[in-house]
Amino acid sequence: MDTPEQPQIYLITPPSIDLTVFPDRLAGVLDGAEIACIRLALAGNDEDAIARAADACREVAHARDIALVISNHILLAQRLGLDGVHLDDAARSVRAARKELGTDAIVGSFCGTSRHDGMSAGESGADYVAFGPVGDVSLGSGTRAERDLFQWWSEMIEVPVVAEGGLTPELVAEMAPSTDFFGIGEEIWAAEDPLNALRALTAPIRQRGA
């Protein structure tokens, strides 16, 4: 993913999805907002279920020329015709993923709050690095990726950076000058109208660009 002039939206699916309704919900969001990329971030290792979900989401995404990457499953990304992989183990698998998927695939790396891991991932060939959570979430250690990490990264490193986890409109406004993408998922999918929830969450980006 190239570094955009203005932060763009990197959409993250829920950890479990109902294939009778989710593709339509996804399509509604994609048709109403500008989305740079989608991450299929399913929990568990049921290959059949993941493959069915990937097929359904790929059809919706590719019909709109939007890239779809999958969390961690390098071989499935290749087999299912997806656009790449998002790795949760910092820099450890980046080189292997790049070797397996080739130069055209998207390879992203989640590096928590570690500047060192982010730099290692970038040096290993990651197309983007994600840090988080930036807001309050109940998962993990409670350690947050603070704004100064993103500010330093945006000034010193050319690899695009994603801010994700516990986003609020206030955090979007605060982080917009120092991130390239906002990774948005759980913040909108619980809402009755995820597109409206997304618009409310990202309103500061539009105001900034006005």
Domain count, the chain: 1
In this structure, is residue 2 part of a structural domain?
Answer: no
* Whether pLDDT at 139 is above 70: no
Domain that includes residue 120, residue range: 8-209
Does residue 138 carry a pLDDT above 90? Answer: no
Position 3 in a domain: no
pLDDT in tens, 53-91: 999 999 999 999 999 999 999 999 999 999 999 999 999
Which band of pLDDT confidence, cut at 50, 70 and 90, is reported for residue 125? very high
What is the per-residue pLDDT across 151-162, written as a single tens digit (0 to 9) for each? 999 999 999 999
Average pLDDT over residues 157-171: 97
CA angle 164, 29, 61 (to 5 degrees): 90
pLDDT tens-place string over residues 43-60? 998 999 999 999 999 999
Let me know if residue 34 belongs to a domain. yes
- Tell me, yes or no, whether 74 lies in a domain: yes
Residue 131 sits in a domain of what CATH number? 3.20.20.70
Q: Tell me if 1 is assigned to some domain.
A: no
Min mean pLDDT across 3-7, 91-95, 99-103, 183-187 is at: 3-7
Q: Cα separation of 112 and 172, whole Å?
A: 18
Distance CA 154, CA 137 (A): 24
Among candidates 183, 190, 180, which has minimal Cα distance to 134? 183
Give the Cα separation of 165 and 208 in Å (integer). 21
Question: DSSP state, 40?
Answer: E
Does the residue 202 lie in any domain?
Answer: yes
